[in-house]
Amino acid sequence: MSDVNIKITDRDGVTHEIVAPTDMAMNLMEVVRSYELAPEGTIGVCGGMAMCASCQCYVLSDTELPEMGDDEEAMLSEAFDVQDNSRLGCQIQITPEMEGLEVELAPES
């Protein structure tokens, strides 16, 4: 089993150093939910379909992420509090390449 270390800063400004599995086909939004880093019903509202931006986060590390897809780009173009480093957590798969990833959850819209 291969796990990666990730730092997630929640909406209260608290940074959590977590270990996320790479062998369960999870995405970042699901990791945030499983560690209960955001109140129930405030993240992943659409179930990870890139349709709500409730899982928007700011990528703080220089971790190389997959290219942004059309659905993610379209959703972020309509979302609030978008920054140059914004991504949707549901579109970031937890893979060995995510080792050292640091993100901050965007404010709840």
Nearest to 87 by CA among 102, 45, 46, 96: 102
Digitized pLDDT (tens) for each residue of the chain, 109 residues in all = 689 999 999 999 999 999 999 999 999 999 999 999 999 999 999 999 999 999 999 999 999 999 999 999 999 999 999 999 999 999 999 999 999 999 999 999 7
pLDDT in tens, 77-99: 999 999 999 999 999 999 999 99
Separation between Cα atoms, residue 75 and residue 82, nearest integer Å = 10
Contact 102, 7 (CB under 8 A): yes
Separation between Cα atoms, residue 76 and residue 58, nearest integer Å = 12
pTM of the model: 0.95
Tokens representing 66 are: 């997959």
Q: Which residues pair with 18 in a beta bridge?
A: 6
Separation between Cα atoms, residue 99 and residue 46, nearest integer Å = 26
